[in-house]
Copies of this chain bind each other. A is one copy, B any other.
Amino acid sequence: MIERAAPATIRDVADRAGVSTATVSRVLAGIGNPKPDTAAAVVRAVQELGYRPSGVARSLRMKRTRTLGLIVTDIQNPFFPELVQAADSAARGLNYSIILGSAAYDEHRAMHYLDLMVDRRVDGLIIASSQLSDESWQWLLASPVPVVVVNAEPNGLPVPVITSDNVGGTRLAVDHLVGLGHRRIAYIRGYEGFTADLPRVEGFRRACADAGIPVSDIVEIRGDGQFEGGERATAELLASGTDVTAIVCHNDVTAIGAMRAIRAAGKHVPRDISVVGCDDIAAAAWVVPALTTVAQQKAEMGTLAVEWLAAALDDPEHAGLAETIRIPMILRVRESTGPAPA
């Protein structure tokens, strides 16, 4: 294997400018006040050589990589790209950069990225994935790298958590439907083990109870958080003859699947059955009828996570307070909900 042309080093610059590496470093960092001649010589040498400082060497010396790791459940799940983009923008603003890992719903992959990022010496970690095993969590909490969890709630671990107010969010959906006269409502749950599943169904139950809807009038079905799960669950629901007038879904993708099943059964949304999703992915506004949904503030979550980490890195005291931040969700009424049929 042949050597590729080696990039210029600070030594090369120093030699060409006729100064020491220390001076080059100082000029580039803007430390001290060098003689104008010296500074100019350095700058010229840098340009002539096309010198770019090695982040690797700098990281080694500084013991900081100015890099944040972000592990998401699945980048192909339309929920995440917006969060990733926002986190990345926030990081850029604070002079960090993000390295991304997509677990693709696989625990092994999640742990692989965890190892990778720790080995790469990221300064902090954002975990937006429920794919981590308990041992991984233990290990992570014992490790020196600051962690913040997004959109998941590891059971009772002393970790800062940034998540949506899932309970309140589902309540928004139910209240909206109840306001439209619905009383018989189904809930399609997400993948079992997905951390948002429990709080959302809990919010659904509580909101129904508060609205005076008897337990016998509600029905819960297990989906999988994917299109197919929503379609299948709804098809079974309709085939079983249970007559609900509205369906609340764990997320938008499920809801879109549900709408397709409803149409396939010859019924109309929202005339016969209203459907509400959750997340507010782009496709929610594209489908016909456009999906009424409870929006998660994904960008805010990504931004907050990065800002929290950056603050913790500047001031480790800050890392002490492992509070849980719940970001409110927002009801977006579109076309998939309407008055309950008489």
Contacts and interface: CB of A to CB of B under 8 A. Distances in A.
A56 B120 contact: yes
Contact of A7 (B92, B144, B259): B144
A144 B4 contact: yes
Contacts of A328: none
A59 interface: yes
Interface string A80-104: 0110110010001000010110101
Q: How many copies of this protein are present in the complex?
A: 2
A52 interface: yes
Nearest to A286: B256
A189 interface: no
Interface string A59-85: 110010100000000011010011011
A320 to B, nearest CB: 11
Contacts of A2: 316-317
A315 B52 CA distance: 25
B102 A88 contact: yes
A227 B288 CA distance: 13
Contacts of A5: 144
A6 interface: yes
Contacts of A65: 56
Contact of A286 (B81, B97, B100, B257): B257
Given A1-B315, A56-B59, A227-B286, 11 more contacts: A2-B316, A54-B60, A55-B120, A56-B60, A60-B60, A76-B81, A97-B99, A227-B285, A283-B283, A287-B287, A287-B288
Interface of A: 1-2, 4-7, 50, 52-57, 59-60, 63, 65, 75-76, 78, 81-82, 84-85, 88, 92, 97, 99-100, 102, 104, 112, 115-116, 118-121, 143-146, 227, 253, 256-257, 259-260, 263, 282-283, 285-288, 314-317
Give 6 nearest A-B pairs by CB, closest first.
A283-B283, A5-B144, A55-B119, A76-B81, A55-B120, A4-B144
